[in-house]
Amino acid sequence: MSLRLLAAIASGVVAPVALPPTSLPILPFVLAVPFALIAASRGPRDAFRLGAATAVPFFALHVAWLPTSFADLLGPAFWAVFPLLVVALAAIWGTTAAFARAIGGPGRGTLAVLAPTWIFVEWLRGLGFLGFPWGALGYGWLATPVAQWADVVGVAGLGLLTSVTAAALAAPFVGPPAAGRGLRDRFRWGVAGSGGRVAPRLRGAGPLVAVALLALAWWGGAVRLEAVRADLRTPDRTALLVQGDVDPLERAAGGALDFDVHLGLTEAAVAAAVADGGAAPDLVVWPEAAVLRTPLEGFRGAPARAALEASAPGATFVVGARARVEGGGANAVYTIDASGVRGRYDKHVLVPFGERWPLLDALAPVYRGIFAAFGLPMLENTVPGPGPAALPGDGGAVGAYVCYESVFDAIPRRMVADGADVLINVTNDAWFARGAGARQHFDMGRLRTIETRRWMLRAANDGITAVVDPTGVVRAELPRGVRDTLVVRYAERSDVTPFVRWGHLTPWLVGAAVAAAVGGALARRV
How many Å apart are CA 464 and CA 453, to the nearest integer?
A: 21
Catalytic residue among 288, 405, 477, 492: 288
Exposed / middle / buried, residue 13 (Cβ in 10 Å: 0-12, 13-18, 19+): middle
Cis peptide preceding 464, ω within 30 of 0: yes
List of residues 6+ apart from 337 with CB closer than 8 A = 309, 315, 316, 317, 394
Collapsing DSSP to helix, strand or coil, 473 comes out as coil
How many Å apart are CA 380 and CA 329, to the nearest integer?
A: 8
Catalytic residue among 347, 355, 451, 477: 347
C-alpha distance from residue 45 to each of 38, 52, 75 (Å): 10, 11, 38
* Beta-carbon count within 10 A of 373 CB: 11
* Residues 382-406 as b or e (16 or more Cβ within 10 Å = b): bbbbeebbbbebbeebbbbbbbbbb
List of residues 6+ apart from 139 with CB closer than 8 A = 19, 20, 23, 155, 158, 443, 444, 447
Asked if 419 and 397 count as a contact pair (C-beta separation under 8 A), the reply is yes
Exposed / middle / buried, residue 242 (Cβ in 10 Å: 0-12, 13-18, 19+): buried
Q: Catalytic annotation on 347?
A: yes
Q: Catalytic annotation on 267?
A: no
How many Å apart are CA 495 and CA 317, to the nearest integer?
A: 24
Strand ordering across the sheet containing 466-468? 391-392, 397-402, 420-427, 456-460, 466-468, 474-477
Asked if 282 and 236 count as a contact pair (C-beta separation under 8 A), the reply is no
How many Å apart are CA 306 and CA 293, to the nearest integer?
A: 16
Asked if 355 and 379 count as a contact pair (C-beta separation under 8 A), the reply is no
Could you tell me which of 37, 38, 28, 31 has the C-alpha nearest to residue 11? Answer: 31
Catalytic residue among 297, 403, 405, 477: 403
Asked if 387 and 348 count as a contact pair (C-beta separation under 8 A), the reply is yes
Q: Catalytic annotation on 403?
A: yes
> What residues are labeled active site?
288, 347, 403
